[in-house]
With several copies, the nearest count.
Chain A
Amino acid sequence: MEINYKSGFQVPEPSSRPGDTPNFSYLSLPSPLDSVRPDTSCKASEMRDLAYGLVRVLDDSGMAVGPWNPNVDAEFLVRGLRAMEKTRLFDERMMRAQRQGKTSIYVQCRGEEAVSCAHQMALEKGDMCFPTYRQQGLLIAQDFPIVDMMCQIFSNAKDKLGGRSLPFFYSERDYGFFSISGNLGTQFIQSVGWAMASAIKGDDRIASGWIGDGASAESDFHAAMVFASVYQPPAVLNVVNNQWAISSFHGISGGAEANFACRGHGFNIASLRVDGNDFLAVYAASSWAIERARKNLGPTLIEWVTYRAAAHSSSDDPSKYRPDNSFDLWPLGDPILRLKNHMIQLGIWSEEKHQALIDELTLEIKEAGKQAESFGTLGKGSKPSVSEMFNHVYKDMPAHLRRQRQKLGV
C-alpha cells in the first residue's frame, strides 16, 4: 500500500493571540429568516440541521424576525433588559469589591447575560437549574435579593451559607437554583438525575443543567448524555460556549473540529445551536426545549454561542492569552446593546430611558452594597461564627466532630 504520511501531532490553536487582530471568521452568521422552528414534538433525528445552524431572532437592523420570534410584549422586553443590565452592574460592583479586598475571588458573566436571564424567564416555579458559577443571571432575573448574594460574597455573618462556601457559590432552593459546585461538570449528570426523579414521580417539573464549553470535556457530560438518551427525562442541557475555558479556546475541548450542539447527535438527543447574545433567541429556544421537556417529549441539548467578555475570574489576566479587544469585535455583539437597540427600533425605549434604568439600578446596587458591607466583608466586621465550619457536615454532628469542635473551643 502506497501511503503518504501527513506529519506529526495536531494541537489546535485559536485564530488570534495577544498582538493579533481578533479573528472570528470561524463563526458563520446565518440570517434569522433562514432557520427552521420544528414543533416541540419533532424527532431528534429530523432536526439534526439545527445543531449546525444558529437560531437567531434579531436581525442586523435590530428587528425581531423569522420563525423563532417569540413575539413577546414590551413589558417582557423591559424586564429582560433590566435583568441583564442589573446582572452586569452587579458584577461590576462585586468585581470592584474584590479588588478592594472585600472578598477573595469573584467571577463575572459579562457578555453572557442574555443566556441566563432569558432562560430563567422561560422557566416556571418548581423547575430546578443546576448552574455553574457564571449564571448569576438566573437569580437576578427572578429579582432575588441581591443584598443576600452580597452577604455571601462578603462572607459576613449574614451569609446564609455560614462562610463555608466560596463567595459566589449560591444555593437557593426556593428559586430553583441548585447549590453550585467548584468541581466542573458534576452537576450536569445530577440535573439529569433530578429530571429522572421528576419523571419517576410523574411530576411536571423540569431540570435545567448547565456546563461550559471547556467543562463539556469532563466525564459528567458524557454520563448526562447517556442517561438522558436512555431514560429521556425532562431535562434541558445547556452548554454555554463562551469560546474560552480560562486560557484555552474552545478548540481544546473539541469545539473547533465539531461544535457542542452536535454532541447530542450521537445520542439522538434534540440539539439546538443558538445565538446566545440574542435575548429573544435565547428565550425562544429555551421555551422550546422547556415545553418539550415539560410535555415529556424528551431532553434537549442547547449550545449557547456567546463570549466571555471579561477575565475568567478576578485571579485571571486574559491579556496574557487573547487579544485585548476581542469582545469588541465579537460578531454576535453585546446582548444588552442588541436588546436595547431592538427596543429602540420598536419605539418602546430610548437612550434616556436606558440611562435612567442604569441610574436606578446603580443606586439600588450601591444601596444593597452598603447594606451588605455594613454587616461585614471578608475578614472585617461581623463574620460567620467559627463553629459554623463544623455544621452541616452531617445532618447530626457525630461525636468525633463534636470533640474536635470542643477542642477548638467554639
Chain B
Amino acid sequence: MATMNMLQAIRDALDLKMADDDNVVIFGEDVGYFGGVFRATDGLQKKYGKNRVFDAPISELGIIGAAVGMGAYGLRPVPEIQFADYILPAYDQIASEAARLRYRSSGEFFAPITIRTPCGGGIYGGQTHSQSPEALFTHVAGLKVVMPSNPYDAKGLLISSIEDDDPVIFFEPKRIYNGPFDGHHDRPVVPWSKHPASEVPEGLYRVPIGKAAVALEGSELTILAYGTMVHVAIAAAQESGINAEVIDLRTLLPLDEETIVASVKKTGRCIVLHEATQTSGFGAELATIVQEHCFYHLEAPILRVAGYDTPYPHAQEWDYFPGPARVIDAMREILETA
C-alpha cells in the first residue's frame, strides 16, 4: 500500500501497464518530454523511451485516428486529450470509427484504446477548460465511459480500461487530482492523504468496469453522482445531517443499474447530480432508468442538480458549480415532498 493522490495513482497505473505489456503506448499533446500539462505522464518517456511515450501534433482527430489504426495493428494505445473540452475535434473518429470498428468488421478489427482526458470545472478554467462532455459519449453504442472519483478507483479502473478490448473514454475530474474537493472553494484544500481511498495497492489490480460503489450508506434518499460530485454529495449529506445514500457510479456506460435500483428502492427518493449542463445530460438517462425500474418505490419526483444550461462561465464559476448548497436545497425539497 502507498498513499497516492489521483494523479499519482493514474501515473502508477500507466507505469505498471507500460511495464506489463509492450503493446501499451502513450501519446498526446505535451505528454512526452514534459510529462503532460497535469504531469500525469511525468517520467514515463524517460523510462520507456520515445517509441512508447511521445508528443503528438495538436490534432485531436489525428491523435484518435492514429490510435484507431494502432489499435487495429495490435497495439493498446492510451492517448491523452489535454482537456475534455478539446475532445470534440476527435468526436467523429471516436463515435463513427473507434466505437464502430468491431461491429463493422465482425470483430476482425477493433480499437482497444483508452482515451484519458481531464474534465470538469472548479479551476477557473472558463468555457474551454471546464466542461463535462460525458453525455456525448454515453449515447454512443460501442464505447465504454468511465469516471473515477478517487485514487484507488482511478488506478484500478485505468488498468481495467487499458486491458479492455473496447474503446474506453476515461474521464479524469481534474479538480480532484490533488484532493477530494467537495465544492467548498472557500475552504482550505484537503489533500488526498486524509482520505481512505488514497490508500492504493502497489501492484496491478483491477476495479471492474460497469460496477458502481456505495460511497455513503444512507436510507432517506439516494444521490447518484460521479467524479467530483461524489465528494460534493457526501459533503452535502454530512453538512445537512440528512441520511443520504451516495452512489458513485464509476462507470457510466455500461451502467450498473442493479446498484442504482437497489438503492432507490430502499430510499424511495433520488437526486441525480452532475457538473455537465442539465438538458440532455447523463442525468436524464439516470432519472429515466430510475423511474423505469423504481416507479412504485418513488415517493417524490427524481430531481436533478446539474450545470445550468449555459456555457461554463469564468467569473461566476462558484455560482455555476453545483456545490453542497444546491444539493442540500434539493434534498430538502425532495424530503418535503409527499
Q: A interface vs B, CB < 8 Å?
A: 8-9, 11, 13, 17, 104-105, 128, 130, 155, 159-167, 169, 171-173, 178-186, 188-198, 200-201, 207, 214-215, 217-220, 222-224, 226-227, 230, 245-248, 252-254, 315, 320-321, 378, 383-384, 386, 388-395, 398-401, 404-405, 408, 410
Q: How far is the CA of A222 from the CA of B108 in the complex (A)?
A: 27
Q: Are B61 and A392 in contact (CB under 8 A)?
A: no
When C-beta atoms are compared, the residue in chain A nearest to B107 turns out to be A392
Q: Are B57 and A194 in contact (CB under 8 A)?
A: no
Q: Which of A160, A197, A395 makes the CB contact (< 8 A) with B73?
A: A197
B72: which A residues are within 8 A, CB to CB?
128, 178, 190, 193-194
Q: Are A400 and B254 in contact (CB under 8 A)?
A: yes
Against A, the Cβ 8 Å flags (1 = close, 0 = not) of B46-84 are 000011101111111110011111111111000000000
Q: Are A254 and B57 in contact (CB under 8 A)?
A: yes
Interface size on B, residues (CB 8 A): 77
A130: which B residues are within 8 A, CB to CB?
69
B33 part of interface (Cβ distance < 8 Å): yes
Q: How far is the CA of A191 from the CA of B58 in the complex (A)?
A: 19
A224 CB to nearest chain B CB (Å): 8
Q: Are B65 and A165 in contact (CB under 8 A)?
A: no
Q: Are B70 and A227 in contact (CB under 8 A)?
A: no
A178: which B residues are within 8 A, CB to CB?
72, 109
Q: Which of A196, A222, A395 makes the CB contact (< 8 A) with B59?
A: A222
Q: Are A189 and B109 in contact (CB under 8 A)?
A: no
Question: Given the known A-B contacts A105-B124, A400-B257, are A193 and B67 also in contact in the complex, defined by CB atoms under 8 Å?
Answer: yes
B101 part of interface (Cβ distance < 8 Å): yes
Question: Given the known A-B contacts A166-B127, A189-B62, A399-B257, are A171 and B69 also in contact in the complex, defined by CB atoms under 8 Å?
Answer: no
A9: which B residues are within 8 A, CB to CB?
50-51
B316 part of interface (Cβ distance < 8 Å): yes
Q: Are B310 and A389 in contact (CB under 8 A)?
A: yes
Selected interface stretch from B85-93, B192-200, B234-242: B85-93
Question: Given the known A-B contacts A164-B104, A181-B97, A378-B315, are A223 and B62 also in contact in the complex, defined by CB atoms under 8 Å?
Answer: yes
Q: How far is the CA of A245 from the CA of B105 in the complex (A)?
A: 26
When C-beta atoms are compared, the residue in chain A nearest to B86 turns out to be A183
A220: which B residues are within 8 A, CB to CB?
61, 65, 93
A315: which B residues are within 8 A, CB to CB?
37
What are 5 residue pairs bridging A and B, where the CB atoms are less than 8 Å apart in the complex? A13-B50, A171-B106, A178-B72, A182-B127, A394-B102
Question: Given the known A-B contacts A179-B109, A193-B67, A320-B34, are A163 and B128 also in contact in the complex, defined by CB atoms under 8 Å?
Answer: no
Apart from A401-B141, A404-B309: 13 A-B pairs, beta carbons within 8 A? A11-B32, A162-B106, A181-B96, A182-B127, A186-B65, A186-B92, A230-B57, A320-B34, A321-B33, A384-B316, A389-B310, A395-B166, A401-B309
B319 part of interface (Cβ distance < 8 Å): yes
B contact face: mostly helix, strand, loop, or mixed: loop
B279 part of interface (Cβ distance < 8 Å): yes
B51: which A residues are within 8 A, CB to CB?
8-9, 11, 200
Question: Given the known A-B contacts A181-B96, A393-B141, are A218 and B58 also in contact in the complex, defined by CB atoms under 8 Å?
Answer: yes
B142: which A residues are within 8 A, CB to CB?
393-394
B314 part of interface (Cβ distance < 8 Å): yes
Q: How far is the CA of A130 from the CA of B313 in the complex (A)?
A: 22
B257: which A residues are within 8 A, CB to CB?
399-400
A378: which B residues are within 8 A, CB to CB?
124, 315
Q: B interface vs A, CB < 8 Å?
A: 25, 29-30, 32-34, 37, 50-52, 54-62, 65-75, 85-86, 88-89, 92-93, 96-97, 100-110, 124-129, 141-142, 144, 164-166, 210, 254-255, 257, 278-279, 308-311, 313-316, 319-320
When C-beta atoms are compared, the residue in chain B nearest to A161 turns out to be B106
B62: which A residues are within 8 A, CB to CB?
189, 217, 222-224, 226-227
Q: Are B320 and A389 in contact (CB under 8 A)?
A: yes
B109: which A residues are within 8 A, CB to CB?
171, 173, 178-179
Q: How far is the CA of A214 from the CA of B82 in the complex (A)?
A: 14
Q: How far is the CA of A13 from the CA of B45 in the complex (A)?
A: 13
Q: Are A248 and B102 in contact (CB under 8 A)?
A: no
B110: which A residues are within 8 A, CB to CB?
395
Q: Which of B55, B60, B66, B255 makes the CB contact (< 8 A) with A252?
A: B55
B320: which A residues are within 8 A, CB to CB?
389
When C-beta atoms are compared, the residue in chain A nearest to B320 turns out to be A389
Question: Given the known A-B contacts A171-B105, A399-B254, A401-B310, are A252 and B56 also in contact in the complex, defined by CB atoms under 8 Å?
Answer: yes
Q: Are A400 and B66 in contact (CB under 8 A)?
A: no
Q: Which of A104, A180, A193, A217 makes the CB contact (< 8 A) with B58?
A: A217
B124: which A residues are within 8 A, CB to CB?
104-105, 378
Question: Given the known A-B contacts A247-B33, A395-B110, are A163 and B314 also in contact in the complex, defined by CB atoms under 8 Å?
Answer: yes
B314: which A residues are within 8 A, CB to CB?
104, 155, 163-167
When A and B form their complex, which 4 residue pairs have the shortest distance between CB atoms, in order from nearest? A193-B69, A163-B315, A182-B128, A193-B66
Q: Which of B56, B74, B92, B311 makes the CB contact (< 8 A) with A164?
A: B311
Q: Are B107 and A190 in contact (CB under 8 A)?
A: no
Q: Are A165 and B66 in contact (CB under 8 A)?
A: no
Q: Are B69 and A191 in contact (CB under 8 A)?
A: yes
Question: Given the known A-B contacts A182-B126, A400-B255, are A218 and B89 also in contact in the complex, defined by CB atoms under 8 Å?
Answer: yes
A207: which B residues are within 8 A, CB to CB?
69
Q: Are A389 and B313 in contact (CB under 8 A)?
A: yes
Q: How far is the CA of A386 from the CA of B74 in the complex (A)?
A: 30
When C-beta atoms are compared, the residue in chain A nearest to B104 turns out to be A179
Q: Are B59 and A217 in contact (CB under 8 A)?
A: yes
Q: How far is the CA of A176 from the CA of B210 in the complex (A)?
A: 35
When C-beta atoms are compared, the residue in chain A nearest to B316 turns out to be A389
When C-beta atoms are compared, the residue in chain B nearest to A388 turns out to be B316
Q: Are A197 and B69 in contact (CB under 8 A)?
A: yes
Q: Are B69 and A179 in contact (CB under 8 A)?
A: no
When C-beta atoms are compared, the residue in chain B nearest to A318 turns out to be B34
When C-beta atoms are compared, the residue in chain A nearest to B22 turns out to be A201
Q: Which of B106, B107, B126 makes the CB contact (< 8 A) with A166?
A: B126
Q: Are B126 and A194 in contact (CB under 8 A)?
A: no
When C-beta atoms are compared, the residue in chain A nearest to B52 turns out to be A200
Question: Given the known A-B contacts A181-B128, A182-B129, A217-B62, are A226 and B57 also in contact in the complex, defined by CB atoms under 8 Å?
Answer: yes
Q: How far is the CA of A222 from the CA of B58 in the complex (A)?
A: 12
B191 CB to nearest chain A CB (Å): 20
Q: Are A193 and B70 in contact (CB under 8 A)?
A: yes
Q: How far is the CA of A166 from the CA of B83 in the complex (A)?
A: 15
B29: which A residues are within 8 A, CB to CB?
245-246, 248
